[in-house]
Amino acid sequence: MNTMLRIIVLVSAALIGAATAQAEITIGIDLPLTGPAAGLGIPCKNGLVFWPDSIAGEKLKLIILDDGSDPSQATRNARRFISEDKVDLMMGSAGTVPALAMAAIAAEGETVQLAESPIELAPGKDAWTFRLPQSTAVMAEGIVEHMKKNGVKTFAFIGYSDAYGESWLKDMTRIANEAGIKLTTAERFARPDTSVTAQAIKAVASNPDAIVLVASGSGAAMPHLAVVDRGYKGKIYQTHSAASNDLIRLGGKSVEGAFVISGLAVMPEGLADGHPSKKLAVDFVQKYEAKFGPGTRNQFAAHTYDALLVLQRVIPEALKKGKPGTKEFRAALRDALENAGEIPVTQGVFRYTAKDHFGLNSHARMMLTIANGNWKVVTP
């Protein structure tokens, strides 16, 4: 082979290799694998075990970074994903404040973010952010619905002093007011706090019919124990971020009888046979518990699995308009999400639109209670 022919062959091989690399779909995944929100991030990472190596014939490249439950680190991770890794989309964070930080970078970099936290963004600020969990409004409606049926007229609030807590306080107060249910007091605490005794004393002293606790993962047990230790005998509600076995394990007998508004993947067996998520959710929890052990099912891992189901629907459509690694492909992913129609997943049926980047409705929730150390469906 003469020198010129050898050069042509080498250049051709290089171009083929570059084209192959470009066709690889790169996903940057930011999760709180350490810090206060690790109880959410680790199950989310576990859900990746069930992802395939490719979608629509294109190889997947997953880059997983820990944000340490810190929004500053989440910002750095997101910037790296876009500027260095040239990702086609981002996932995360499971922590609300880190997810909010990522949303700003997603918009700036015109890159889709699949948030694993129900973050609230101002109108026009979520053009590139789509949520995997149910919105706080959808879940607050479920709590208020249960309150109305059970004669609750007043409630106290104890929740995080961050974006997640603020979102719940806003939606819960608004929806409860519309139902004629009044807030007696709103008490706040920081995620790293080791005691909420003062907040519990004030909440119980306001003599409410119910107390709504807004915390996540293992941290949800602390305020629950505090109000029970203060002698509170009324109804206690927890949010979907508390719907894990950590609440039962750490709360013990004190959480018996509590009500937890939850996604569907915690007790999918309680769904009606005709529910479009039942088979998907039951199959997922069976696979998850076979891998990680009995009783390990949780909705956080399910969010990651649902992301796969969503991507399997939209990536083939996006590939018709652009190749991975290009601006056209990233824009096509966003357009495909907004126009995919109904996408059944373990937690409900997504129907994202240009005006709704949450996509889930009341059929994506269920009310659970804790009875004899196990979950029991109250309202499927």
- The pLDDT, as a whole number, for residue 185 is 98
- Per-residue model confidence (pLDDT) at position 64: 98
Confidence of residue 18 (pLDDT cuts 50, 70, 90): very low
Closest CA to 201 of 238, 234, 231: 231
Residue 245, pLDDT score = 85
210 with 157, same domain: the answer is: yes
Q: Which of 240, 262, 284 is the last residue of a domain?
A: 262
Task: Tell me what pLDDT residue 115 has.
Answer: 97
**CA–CA separation, 235 and 340 (whole Å):** 40
Do 21 and 99 lie in one domain? The reply is: yes
Provide mean pLDDT across the span 219-229: 95
HSE value, Cβ hemisphere, 13 Å, CA-based, for 5: 2
Per-residue exposure over 66-87, b if at least 16 CB sit within 10 Å of its own CB, e if not: bbbbbbebbbbbbebbbeebeb
Residue 316 maps to which CATH number? Answer: 3.40.50.2300
Which pLDDT band holds residue 340 (cuts at 50, 70, 90)? very high
Same-domain status, 318 and 256:
no
pLDDT band per the 50, 70, 90 thresholds, residue 158: very high
CA 239 to chain centre: 12
pLDDT at position 4? 41
* 275-333 tens-digit pLDDT: 999 999 999 999 999 999 998 999 999 999 999 999 999 999 999 999 999 999 999 99
Mean pLDDT of 48-76: 97
Q: Are residues 211 and 257 in the same domain?
A: yes
Gap between the Cα atoms of 234 and 255, Å rounded: 12
Structural domain harbouring 249: 136-262
Q: Structural domain tally of the chain?
A: 2
Per-residue model confidence (pLDDT) at position 380: 67
In this structure, are 330 and 353 located in the same domain? Answer: yes
Average pLDDT for residues 257-286, to the nearest whole number? 95
In a domain, 378, yes or no: no
**Are residue 306 and residue 237 in the same domain, yes or no?**
no
Domain annotation covers residue 376: no
